[in-house]
């Protein structure tokens, strides 16, 4: 989990920003000793399998395969197991890992890669850096690629699924041809795709893997696997435009550097950075690129409280070339002099207008506040963040922060920000017997040894919610099979993340209450008393109904007898055409004769 979230130890627990929802204050908790996680902001929880299911948006089986691959464990499919349609995410990661090695060997030893090796040296890349970033070479010859893939047990369909090959009108062809290859690894250190830099006259200077089940350009960064640890240590990330910019920054000692994947900064990428750092320095080699990045940063990162600063390489060079001709301390100076994104954007706008012209100044202020307003409207922004931004903008524009807030509006988008109280499960008023059973579940998930004392409670209670019934069944199955169990064993049987979430919710709630033995004793006693009371009430209701039936029968019989003696009881029935209950249609159609038949029928029945 620490590969996706920057965790800091707090006592026996680890705390970090939740990767599943937007938050400013860490509420994501990992209980390493008990093997589960819980977020008190959005309520999600479970074990490592649940975490991978949620973070990868995949099935339980696929999560198992991903973790098995990481652990070097081979999973055997049962005879009745259903084969997935096409390669899954774990399969694609294995295919890409093989391709990474294949491209690497091509660069190291293929005669066709001589010009690629020369190019790498010309860029100033040392052998150590080349190895660390696993440079490779794709010659573009189809047959060697297919032959090596077949020897590794891969099919042409596998290569197409991973976008290592493509299908055209003339058949299958390699995706990357005469390109220097850069494997792109994610925070789990999986090769999720590739970037290729052309070494010929191809119009596309850089070519990335197309979107697959494993790779999406707007979701990650190049160099993240190599930078993640240093990012956490320094609480800073440096974001560049190009692969070589990030590579040369690492070579110069700035290993907290990553590169975008050729797309505009997206919300998912900001969320990813926010898990590890609180400050991002965007480094660009042109005013136009810097301004566009600053605008995106304000719109996306500002509401998430990710501090974004803008830095520009001097002398018109890109970062990679600058690092080759300047000592590291000069580059550090550029990073340290980075300007806050708000101030950077404001200064850029000022250059477009005449400061002495009142109308022009009004226009630039209006444009700037409009950008802030769009930022507020794009995402749910809490009052504290609005106030902080208003203070900063007010200082730039020499305006009162209240005037800034009035100008941009409160910026609410109508979406409520997730809160601990709102995201937690709403515990409605439960039926008393069910409430006892839920408390028993909370206890046994923390102290499984007590399940023998409350197994009857768990088994004989009717649950109004299916998820509670499932949790109780899992606990009882483990008890019947093994006697005692661990919380991790319960979670390992929860293939549905919603069930795992409920398990951690119950465990956390029970853990806060404590006093397990006393709680179980009270719960069992209370449940037993309630069952007895319910049985007594039920018995009384049945007796009352029987007594009422007897009394009613006596009253009917007495009324009937009085009516027969008086001879008046049934006359209104004959006049109204009333019929005997259950009479046939022919009897109902008989008119007044039906009334006499009804009397006779009633007479005989009594």
pLDDT for the residue 363: 75
pLDDT band at 153 (very low <50, low <70, confident <90, very high): very high
pLDDT band at 520 (very low <50, low <70, confident <90, very high): confident
Q: What is the mean pLDDT of residues 202-216?
A: 90
Give the model confidence (pLDDT) of 159-186 as tens digits. 999 999 999 888 999 999 999 999 999 8
pLDDT for the residue 414: 40
Q: What is the mean pLDDT of residues 406-423?
A: 47
Lowest mean pLDDT among 314-323, 407-416, 482-491, 528-537: 407-416
pLDDT for the residue 381: 57
Fold held by 8-71: DNA Primase; Chain A (3.90.580)
Going by the DSSP 8-state scheme, the letter that residue 222 receives in this structure is B
| pLDDT of 574 higher than 50 | no
Q: What is the mean pLDDT of residues 541-555?
A: 64
Q: What is the mean pLDDT of residues 291-295?
A: 69
Task: Output the average pLDDT for the chain.
Answer: 79
Hey, which of 87-91, 151-155, 509-513 has the most confident mean pLDDT? 151-155
More confident position, 174 or 565: 174
CATH number 3.30.2350.10 given to 224-408:
no
Sequence-separated (6 or more) residues with CB below 8 Å from residue 243: 182, 195, 197, 206, 222, 223, 259
**Token representation of residue 45:** 């929880």
Which three-class secondary structure state does DSSP give residue 196?
strand
Is residue 381 within 8 A of residue 24, CB to CB? The reply is no
Whole-angstrom Cα Rg for the chain: 36
Q: What is the mean pLDDT of residues 563-589?
A: 45
Strand pairing of 307-312 and 279-284?
parallel
pLDDT band at 289 (very low <50, low <70, confident <90, very high): low
Is residue 193 within 8 A of residue 208, CB to CB? The reply is yes
More confident position, 570 or 465: 465
pLDDT band at 420 (very low <50, low <70, confident <90, very high): very low
pLDDT band at 290 (very low <50, low <70, confident <90, very high): low
pLDDT for the residue 174: 94
Is residue 480 within 8 A of residue 451, CB to CB? The reply is no
DSSP one-letter string for 384-431? HHHHHHHHHHHHHHT--HHHHHHHH-----SPPPP-HHHHS-------
Lowest mean pLDDT among 71-80, 515-524, 531-540: 71-80
| pLDDT of 460 higher than 90 | no
Alpha helices in 32-137 (DSSP H): 48-56, 60-71, 89-109, 114-122, 127-132
Sequence-separated (6 or more) residues with CB below 8 Å from residue 80: none
> What value, to the nearest 5°, has the Cα angle with vertex 315 and ends 312 and 321?
85
Sequence-separated (6 or more) residues with CB below 8 Å from residue 558: none
**Per-domain residue ranges for the chain?**
8-71, 96-215, 224-408, 425-529, 570-606
Q: Which residue has the tokens 């001589």?
A: 114
More confident position, 337 or 485: 337
Is residue 542 within 8 A of residue 536, CB to CB? The reply is no
Burial string for 107-125 (b: 16+ CB within 10 Å, else e) reads beebeebeebbeebeebbb
pLDDT band at 588 (very low <50, low <70, confident <90, very high): very low
- Give backbone dihedrals phi and psi of 506, rounded to 5 degrees, phi first: -65, -40
Helix %, strand %, coil % of the chain (to 5) = 55, 10, 30
Question: How many angstroms separate the CA atoms of 517 and 520, rounded?
Answer: 5
Give the model confidence (pLDDT) of 496-514 as tens digits. 888 888 888 888 888 877 7
Lowest mean pLDDT among 62-66, 91-95, 382-386, 515-519: 382-386
Give the model confidence (pLDDT) of 332-389 as tens digits. 999 999 988 877 877 777 776 666 666 776 777 777 777 777 666 655 556 666 777 7
Pick the CATH number of 96-215 from 3.90.980.10, 3.20.20.150, 3.30.565.10, 3.40.50.1000: 3.90.980.10
Strand partners, 206: 197
pLDDT band at 558 (very low <50, low <70, confident <90, very high): low
| pLDDT of 516 higher than 70 | yes
Domains 8-71 and 224-408 share a fold: no
Lowest mean pLDDT among 15-24, 212-221, 334-343: 15-24
Lowest mean pLDDT among 263-267, 279-283, 551-555: 551-555
Burial of 18 (0-12, 13-18, 19+ CB in 10 A): buried
E-assigned strand segments in 104-250: 136-138, 165-168, 171-174, 179-185, 191-198, 206-208, 236-240
Question: How many angstroms separate the CA atoms of 41 and 39, rounded?
Answer: 5
pLDDT for the residue 251: 97
| pLDDT of 413 higher than 50 | no
Strand pairing of 45-46 and 136-138?
unpaired
pLDDT band at 105 (very low <50, low <70, confident <90, very high): very high
Hey, which of 329-338, 419-428, 452-461, 587-596 has the most confident mean pLDDT? 329-338
pLDDT over 90 percentage in the chain: 27
**Token representation of residue 195:** 């970037």
């Amino acid at each position: 989990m620490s590969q996706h979230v920057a965790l800091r130890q707090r006592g026996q627990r680890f705390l970090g920003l939740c990767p599943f929802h937007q938050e400013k204050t860490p509420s994501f908790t990992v209980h390493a000793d008990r093997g589960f996680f819980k977020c008190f902001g959005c309520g999600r929880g479970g074990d490592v399998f649940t975490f991978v299911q949620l973070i990868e948006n995949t099935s339980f089986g696929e999560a198992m395969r991903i973790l098995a691959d990481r652990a070097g464990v081979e999973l055997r499919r049962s005879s009745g197991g259903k084969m997935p349609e096409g390669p899954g995410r774990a399969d694609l990661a294995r295919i890409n890992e093989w391709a990474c090695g294949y491209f690497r060997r091509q660069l190291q030893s293929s005669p066709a890669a001589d010009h690629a090796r020369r190019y790498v040296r010309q860029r100033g890349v040392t052998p150590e850096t080349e190895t660390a970033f696993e440079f490779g070479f794709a010659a573009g010859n189809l047959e060697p690629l297919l032959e090596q893939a077949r020897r590794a047990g891969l099919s042409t369909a596998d290569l197409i699924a991973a976008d290592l090959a493509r299908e055209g009108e003339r058949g299958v062809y390699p995706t990357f041809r005469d390109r220097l290859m850069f494997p792109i690894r994610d925070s789990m250190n999986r090769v999720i795709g590739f970037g290729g830099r052309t070494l010929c006259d191809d119009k596309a200077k850089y070519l990335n893997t197309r979107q697959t089940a494993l790779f999406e350009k707007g979701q990650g960064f190049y160099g993240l696997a190599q930078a993640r640890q240093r990012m956490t240590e320094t609480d800073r990330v440096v974001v560049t435009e190009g692969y070589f910019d990030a590579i040369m920054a690492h070579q110069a000692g700035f290993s907290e550097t990553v590169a975008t994947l050729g797309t505009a900064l997206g919300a998912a990428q900001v969320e990813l950075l926010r898990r590890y750092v609180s400050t991002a320095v965007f480094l660009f080699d042109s005013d136009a690129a810097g301004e566009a990045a600053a605008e995106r940063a304000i719109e996306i990162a500002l509401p998430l409280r990710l501090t974004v600063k803008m830095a520009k390489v001097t002398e018109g060079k890109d970062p990679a070339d600058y690092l080759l001709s300047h000592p590291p301390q000069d580059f550090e100076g550029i990073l340290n002099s980075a300007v806050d994104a708000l101030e950077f954007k404001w200064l850029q706008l000022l250059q477009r207008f005449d400061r002495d012209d009142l109308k022009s100044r009004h226009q630039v202020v209006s444009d700037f506040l409009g950008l802030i307003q769009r930022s507020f409207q794009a995402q749910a922004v809490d009052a504290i963040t609005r106030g902080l931004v208003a203070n900063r903008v007010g200082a730039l524009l020499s305006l009162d922060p209240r005037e800034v807030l009035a100008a941009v509006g409160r910026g609410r988008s109508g979406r409520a920000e997730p809160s601990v109280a709102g995201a937690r499960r709403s515990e409605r008023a439960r039926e008393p017997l069910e409430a006892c059973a839920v408390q028993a579940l909370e206890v046994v998930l923390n102290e499984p040894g007590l399940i023998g004392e409350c197994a009857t409670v768990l088994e004989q209670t009717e649950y109004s919610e299916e998820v509670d019934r499932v949790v109780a069944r899992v606990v009882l199955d483990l008890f019947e099979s093994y006697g005692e169990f661990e919380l991790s064993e319960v979670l390992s049987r929860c293939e549905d993340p919603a069930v795992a979430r409920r398990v951690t919710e119950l465990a956390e709630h029970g853990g806060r209450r404590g006093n397990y033995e006393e709680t179980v004793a009270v719960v069992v006693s209370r449940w037993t008393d309630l069952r007895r009371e319910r049985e007594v009430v039920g018995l009384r209701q049945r007796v009352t109904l029987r007594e009422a039936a007897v009394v009613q029968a006596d009253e009917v019989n007495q009324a009937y007898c009085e009516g027969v003696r008086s001879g008046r009881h049934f006359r209104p029935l004959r006049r109204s055409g009333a019929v005997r209950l259950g009479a046939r249609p022919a009897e109902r159609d008989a008119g007044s004769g039906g009334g006499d038949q009804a009397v006779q029928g009633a007479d005989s029945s009594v």
